[in-house]
């Protein structure tokens, strides 16, 4: 077992939060409830594995990318509905697409994430130094989640009744890989407000990756996380909405989306590591307000401010919403001066009730 380096947080970050799976597990739909319970059990095992076998995060200094290096290094594995990772290699960087659509989507999603970070933020893979991007598909039976475990991506196929294939939404892939970016930069503590910031940053860049791959402006984007993931019978459109937190779903099995959009409705809870997937709605909404106020393509000015804040070295592991908000304002001022961008940042945080000074 590797010793835990000072300050390093064992990583297990999943797209479907435990509070939502727990809601399904307690529903009257016996089949869905059983699959949710099994997913929760598997997640607990994986989370325990990260605590017991911690992969030391080595500080990486991003370096300029030579032209010959400006490409990803992707490998997709197939778990064949088992749980041994990584599984059997089924596609490498130089291989042509095969017949398995799940494999092809995972491969493309890793590439879309790599492209945004490289082309728009000059970050060479998620660690800034060309880290290989590995993913495992067809994990477990009817597994209702996808996760980043500190080393690789893992995708379930869903149960077909509540959740569909987790490679379908590219923002899910971008979300989970961004946990890796956070791991290698600010390494935000995965609990309470810093944990909610951790989740929000993944939602922000997951959404930007989708928008970039579709060529959408901030006005054209749907600002949904996981659109297309919920089965047709579910009353909902996605896992979360950055535009209107609390409106993504309202279903007999899933319950109602609990995300708040502002600090007035902040949720104090011991569930979900202190509500990391719930209260992330507040910084999510602030980013949406900023991006739509500035207009154009959200990955440009709004995304640049958030990226600079995450990777600039000033964001503390235990940062609160107010700490992050103040730092985004300082970052905007440093890059753009006291003009429209900085004023839009201040306005966005004011609208969600988070102080910037």
Q: Within 13 Å, how many C-alpha atoms sit on residue 157's CB side? A: 18
- pLDDT tens string 214-267: 999 999 999 999 999 999 999 999 999 999 999 999 999 999 999 999 999 999
- Specify which residues 255 forms β-bridges with: 251
Same domain for 165 and 232: no
Number of domain units in the chain: 2
Give the pLDDT confidence score for residue 72 in this predicted structure. Answer: 95
| pLDDT, tens only, 129-168 | 999 999 999 999 999 999 999 999 999 999 999 999 999 9
Q: Are 198 and 331 within one domain?
A: yes
CA distance 207 to 94: 28
Note whether 171 and 59 are same-domain residues. yes
- Domain hosting residue 284, numbered range: 192-351
Of 166, 183, 200, which residue sits at a domain end? Answer: 183
In CATH, what number is assigned to the domain containing residue 205? 1.10.390.10
Tokens of 105: 């989507």
Please check whether residue 2 lies inside any domain of the structure. no
pLDDT value for 59: 52
User: Could you give the CA distance from residue 200 to residue 226 in angstroms, rounded to a whole number?
Assistant: 14
Active site residues: 176, 277
Q: What is the CATH number of the domain that holds 99?
A: 3.10.170.10
What residues of the chain score a pLDDT lower than 70? 1-11, 50-61, 63
- Residue 242 CA to residue 260 CA, distance in Å, equals 10
């Amino acid at each position: 077992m590797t010793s835990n380096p000072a300050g390093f947080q064992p990583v297990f970050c999943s797209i479907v939060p435990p509070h939502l799976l727990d809601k399904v597990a307690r529903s009257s739909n016996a089949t869905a409830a059983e699959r949710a319970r099994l997913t929760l059990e598997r997640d607990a095992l994986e989370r325990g594995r990260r605590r017991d076998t911690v992969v030391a995060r080595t500080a990486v200094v991003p370096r300029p990318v030579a032209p010959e290096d400006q490409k990803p290094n992707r490998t997709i594995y197939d778990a064949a509905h088992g749980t041994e990772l990584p599984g059997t290699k089924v596609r490498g960087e130089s291989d042509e697409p095969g017949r398995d659509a799940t494999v092809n989507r995972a491969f493309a999603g890793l590439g879309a994430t790599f492209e945004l970070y490289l082309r728009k933020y000059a970050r060479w893979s998620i660690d800034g130094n060309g880290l290989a991007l590995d993913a495992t598909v067809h994990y477990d039976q009817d597994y209702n989640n996808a996760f980043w475990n500190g080393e690789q991506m893992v995708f379930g196929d869903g149960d077909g009744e509540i959740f569909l294939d987790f490679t379908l939404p590219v923002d899910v892939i971008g979300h989970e890989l961004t946990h890796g970016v956070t791991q290698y930069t600010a390494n935000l503590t995965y609990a309470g407000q810093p944990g909610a910031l951790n989740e929000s940053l993944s939602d922000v860049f997951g959404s930007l990756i989708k928008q970039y791959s579709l060529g959408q402006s901030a006005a054209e984007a749907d600002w949904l996380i996981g659109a297309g993931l919920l089965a047709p019978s579910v009353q909902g459109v996605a896992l979360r909405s950055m535009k209107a937190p609390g409106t993504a779903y309202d279903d007999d099995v899933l319950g109602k989306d609990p995300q708040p959009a502002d600090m007035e409705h902040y949720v104090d809870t011991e569930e979900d590591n202190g509500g990391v997937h719930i209260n992330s709605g507040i910084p999510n909404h602030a980013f949406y307000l900023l991006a739509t106020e500035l207009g154009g393509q959200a990955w440009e000015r709004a995304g640049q401010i958030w990226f600079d804040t995450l990777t600039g070295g000033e964001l503390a592991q235990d940062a609160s919403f107010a700490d992050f908000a103040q730092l985004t304002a300082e970052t905007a001022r440093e890059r753009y001066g006291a003009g429209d961008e900085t004023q839009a940042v201040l306005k966005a945080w004011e609208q969600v009730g988070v102080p910037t000074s």
